[in-house]
Amino acid sequence: MSAIGELSTMTRRKGPMTKEEKKANGRDNKAAYVFLLPWLLGLAVITVGPMLMSLYLSFTDYNLLQPPEWVGLDNFVRMFGDARLHNSLRVTFTYVLVGVPLQLAVALVIALVLDKGLRGLPFYRSIFYLPSLLGGSVAVAILWKQIFGTTGLVNQVLAMVGIEGPGWISDPNTALGSIILLHVWTFGSPMIIFLAGLRQIPVMYYEAAKVDGATTLQQFWRITLPMLSPIIFFNLVLQIIGSFQSFTQAFIVSGGNGGPSDSTMFFTLYLYQKGFGQFDMGYASAMAWLLLVIIGVFTAINFIASKYWVFYDD
Amino acid sequence: MPVNPKGEAVAPAPTTAGAPGSKAKRSTRKLRASALVAATAAAVLALTACGGGGGSDAKSADGKVELRFAWWGGDKRAQVTQAAIAAFEAENPNIKIKPEYGDWSGYWDKLATQVAANDAPDIIQMDEKYITEYSTRGALLDLSKYDVDTSKLDEAALDAGKGEKGLTGIAAGINAATILANPAVFQAAGVALPDDKTWTWEDFERISAEVTAKSPKGTYGAAAYGTDEASLGVWLRQNGKSLYTEDGKLGFEPSDIAEWWSFLKELSEKKAVPSASEVVEAEAAPLDQSGLATGKNGLAFWWSNQLPALEKAAGGELQILRFPSKTGKAADAKLWYKASQFWSASSRTKHPEETAKFINFLTNNVKAGEALLADRGVYPNSEVREAIAPKLAKADVKVVDFIDQIKSELGDAPAAPPKGAGAIQEIVKRYTSEVLFNRLSTEEAGKKAVDEMKSAIS
């Protein structure tokens, strides 16, 4: 019932194709590739080319100003002793493992509320979606900085009830938390997807459950969640991949340095600093490949685990 | 940006779940076909790539040369620099100068990328922290081989731009590390401004704490130091050490920097300087929103040439002070003349003569001086300095006078920052906040910071 469900069926072939079918297929394919050509060119030039280049650079010492020098696995070996890299991994994992589930939970709850046939649904949907469009933007990160600053809106409100709040984004103990909150706030995207998914669940299941005397909570656990699991899985995969690569929020909120005290030093931010701040592009490239492997492993785990909890109704 | 916008496009697909079988058939032979396309794409890529790369050859049909000129700085600098460009273009109608300017922090990321992409600006405003990095790696032009007159330059200023690759930078101005005071803050607190010829670090602490105590909440006697290495440099010099040695090593021990942080912590505990959180926030603020400009700090650490811009932002007069010393003698403040910035040229410029001509104009032409005045520090060319003296605004005069006054008190010129020195500020800043937030002891921070600094400049 979902794109991912289809993916899993696509790989299963049912019997050999006839000659006619093959021919038709070939024609179809050719036409498709002609139409895809602009995109494929873009992929080659903008994505694959630079990726191969960075793979090469990851085995070199490259300071941007002079030609790269081959150093083999040196960059990767250096990673083991780099405490700041380990810290950046810790920060990024915290961000992903806390931020993603939290964001999806919020998205699901809001989607459930909106799905109850609210009047003016398109309006609310747009309102809730708005942060998603803005959340990754520089403007909102700057706004965030103002709101959570020492004398920002949050602390002004807290002061009214007599609490002296910390400098949320300038205190190493709360800085990452406020960036996670910014991430959660951009729940609109998964919410829209959840809404679409909820609309797909046949009403008859709920009617039948009601007849059998199931409570709303039971209906949620027994019908909504299982039926929605492919969508949850889809959102989870997307969000995890995206969150590992988060950069903008931390860059802007911390003023580009991952501070205070490296508490918001995301992996990508450290990579950027290494590459462009410290002229260590070889190492930065190696870091990029480490990130790719990490994301790959996480996605693989996700897919393997999905067998045990994702329910395809087909 | 975690949200992949493609997600929404895929999601509505479930409506067509009726015919999965037909789609399943289309998945074969994908590989061979895509290999073909990939090969084509690669061929196209190879063809186009040959033509790419390199900066634009900006010599247009009418024989005009276009040069790109990059600098960092705020609005005021942009204005005066544009005026200097206009004066140059009026004299040289065949050369057009295209300005590219921005913030300090973004500037270096951008420059590194541009140089790597073989797309460096022709004229580059350089800093002493980076000039060795760029020049030893061959990115900067040896200006001594071109027609740039350096005979009128102060010797110290000229030497600052010399390195193993020749004269790769010409000082754009002279400045000094200073403490700027906002008299309005002192007045409001009812505290007298310190006498900078006799004050010690103890005075600094006492006076700052007093201003804080007598000011409204959120206003502090002094800004915290520790957000860059300049104030560390002063501290070290007063203690007989230095940031760097002549052979490009670190000139101090972990215990030296630990001591510097201990004093900062003391200042913080006595509320002479803002809280740790406020210090972190202040780091990110641009010049015109700095604590000194907004009247939240009575004293702050700045370069002398920044006074006019800060006065403009503060909307009132500021005063330049010498650094405090350990002994209370001005000569022990160990200040020095620094080349505020350098004019450098890209070694890959397609028009070295024209580039040199422009740098020569900036350095030696009175018209350039009349436009730039003291924004980049005191003019290193003595003739231009004299010629523009009557045109200086009140704020500029203060800067020039200060530079003159301290001449007899200066310490030895410090060693030039070695390759990799651009990373030092970030290290200082990070460990300062570790210390202020009590996450590391000053000794631990000193040890770790020095380790990192050593590997940055090795």
Show which of residues 163-222 on chain A sit within 8 Å of chain B, judged by CB atoms.
Answer: 166-167, 169-172, 183, 186, 188-190, 192-193, 196-197, 200
Cis amide linkage into residue B274, ω under 30° from 0: no
CB contact under 8 Å between B7 and A245, yes or no, is no
What the block records as the tokens of B82 is 């544009």
Q: Which residues of B touch A262 (CB under 8 A)?
A: 430
- In this complex, the residue of B8, B275, B278 whose CB is nearest that of residue A192 is B8
For β-strands B170-171 and B174-175, DSSP reports them as unpaired
- In this complex, the residue of A29, A145, A248 whose CB is nearest that of residue B1 is A248
CB contact under 8 Å between B12 and A196, yes or no, is yes
User: Where does residue B365 fall: left (phi above 0), alpha (psi -120 to 50 degrees), or beta otherwise?
Assistant: beta
Q: Tell me the nearest-neighbour CA distance from B128 into chain A, angstroms.
A: 16
pLDDT band at B422; cut points 50, 70, 90: confident
CB contact under 8 Å between B3 and A135, yes or no, is yes
Show which of residues 84-123 on chain A sit within 8 Å of chain B, judged by CB atoms.
Answer: 99
Give the Cα separation of A25 and B26 in Å (integer): 7
Q: Find the helix packing angle between A138-147 and A175-185, rounded to 10°.
A: 130
Q: Look at residue A135 in the predicted model and tell me its pLDDT.
A: 64
Residues B200-220 pLDDT 10s: 999 999 999 999 999 998 899
Give the Cα separation of B455 and B458 in Å (integer): 5
Mean pLDDT over B309-320 rounds to: 91
Q: Which residues of B touch A192 (CB under 8 A)?
A: 8, 11
- In this complex, the residue of A25, A36, A273 whose CB is nearest that of residue B29 is A25
Residues B30-56 pLDDT 10s: 444 454 444 444 444 444 443 333 344
Q: Tell me, rounded to whole angstroms, the distance of Cα B161 from its chain centroid.
A: 16
Instruction: Identify each DSSP E strand in B376-442 by its residue range.
Output: none
Q: Which residues of B touch A261 (CB under 8 A)?
A: 430, 433-434, 437, 439
Q: Which residues of B touch A30 (CB under 8 A)?
A: 33
- In this complex, the residue of A41, A64, A242 whose CB is nearest that of residue B4 is A242
Q: Tell me the nearest-neighbour CA distance from B381 into chain A, angstroms.
A: 31
Residue B410 has pLDDT above 70, yes or no: yes
Complex ipTM tops 0.85: no
A96 to chain B: nearest residue by CA?
A: B2
Q: Look at residue A249 in the predicted model and tell me its pLDDT.
A: 82
Q: Look at residue B60 in the predicted model and tell me its pLDDT.
A: 54
How many CB pairs below 8 Å do chains A and B form together?
Answer: 203
Q: pLDDT averaged over chain B?
A: 84
B44 to chain A: nearest residue by CA?
A: A41
Give the Cα separation of A183 and A196 in Å (integer): 22
A136 to chain B: nearest residue by CA?
A: B1
Interchain CB contact of A5 with B (< 8 Å):
yes
Q: Tell me the nearest-neighbour CA distance from B292 into chain A, angstroms.
A: 17
For β-strands B65-72 and B166-167, DSSP reports them as unpaired
Query: Phi then psi for B411, rounded to 5 degrees?
Result: -85, -175
Q: Look at residue B289 in the predicted model and tell me its pLDDT.
A: 85
CB contact under 8 Å between B27 and A49, yes or no, is no
Q: Tell me the nearest-neighbour CA distance from B27 into chain A, angstroms.
A: 7
pLDDT band at B142; cut points 50, 70, 90: very high
CB contact under 8 Å between B426 and A273, yes or no, is yes
Residues A138-161 pLDDT 10s: 777 778 878 888 778 888 888 888
Interchain CB contact of A299 with B (< 8 Å):
no
Q: Which residues of B touch A66 (CB under 8 A)?
A: 137-138
Q: Look at residue A137 in the predicted model and tell me its pLDDT.
A: 72
Q: Give the angle subtended at the CA of B456 by the CAs of B454 and B457, to the nearest 5°.
A: 70
Q: Look at residue A136 in the predicted model and tell me its pLDDT.
A: 65
CB contact under 8 Å between A40 and B41, yes or no, is yes
CB contact under 8 Å between B38 and A40, yes or no, is yes
Residues B54-85 pLDDT 10s: 344 445 556 789 999 999 988 888 999 999 99
CB contact under 8 Å between A135 and B20, yes or no, is no
Q: Look at residue B59 in the predicted model and tell me its pLDDT.
A: 52
Q: Which residues of A touch B429 (CB under 8 A)?
A: 257, 259
Task: State what percent of residues in chain B have pLDDT above 70.
Answer: 86
Q: Tell me the nearest-neighbour CA distance from B172 into chain A, angstroms.
A: 24
Give the Cα separation of B455 and A31 in Å (integer): 56
Distances (CA, A) of B295 to A114, B48, B224: 49, 56, 15
Distances (CA, A) of B441 to A113, A171, A172, B436: 51, 17, 16, 9
Describe the strand order of the beta sheet including B123-126 as a list of residue ranges.
B95-102, B65-72, B123-126, B342-345, B170-171
Q: Look at residue A189 in the predicted model and tell me its pLDDT.
A: 87
Averaged pLDDT in 10-residue chunks for chain A of 314 residues: 46 60 76 89 90 93 87 92 93 95 94 81 82 74 80 84 82 88 88 90 90 89 90 92 89 80 91 87 94 95 91 73
Mutate: best of A4, A40, A150, A248, partner B, most B CBs <10 A: A150
In this prediction the pTM is 0.79
CB contact under 8 Å between A25 and B26, yes or no, is yes
Interchain CB contact of A268 with B (< 8 Å):
no
Show which of residues 19-38 on chain A sit within 8 Å of chain B, judged by CB atoms.
Answer: 21-22, 25-26, 28-30, 33, 36-37
Q: Tell me, rounded to whole angstroms, the distance of Cα B293 from its chain centroid.
A: 18
Q: Which residues of A touch B430 (CB under 8 A)?
A: 257, 259, 261-262
| SS3 (DSSP) at B292 | coil
Residue B156 has pLDDT above 80, yes or no: no
Within A212-311, residue ranges assigned H as helices are 216-219, 225-244, 248-253, 267-272, 281-309
Residues B358 and B69 sit within 8 Å (Cβ to Cβ): yes
Give the Cα separation of B220 and B199 in Å (integer): 19
CB contact under 8 Å between B24 and A262, yes or no, is no
- In this complex, the residue of B12, B138, B433 whose CB is nearest that of residue A259 is B433
Q: Which residues of B touch A41 (CB under 8 A)?
A: 41, 44-45
CB contact under 8 Å between B139 and A65, yes or no, is yes
Q: Look at residue A15 in the predicted model and tell me its pLDDT.
A: 59
Q: Look at residue A79 in the predicted model and tell me its pLDDT.
A: 92
CB contact under 8 Å between A255 and B105, yes or no, is yes
Longest C-alpha distance within chain B, in Å?
90
What the block records as the tokens of B299 is 């004293």
Q: Tell me the nearest-neighbour CA distance from A113 into chain B, angstroms.
A: 19
Q: Look at residue A237 in the predicted model and tell me its pLDDT.
A: 93
CB contact under 8 Å between B24 and A14, yes or no, is yes
Name the nearest CA neighbour of A196 among A290, A108, A284. A108
CB contact under 8 Å between B116 and A257, yes or no, is no
CB contact under 8 Å between A17 and B116, yes or no, is no
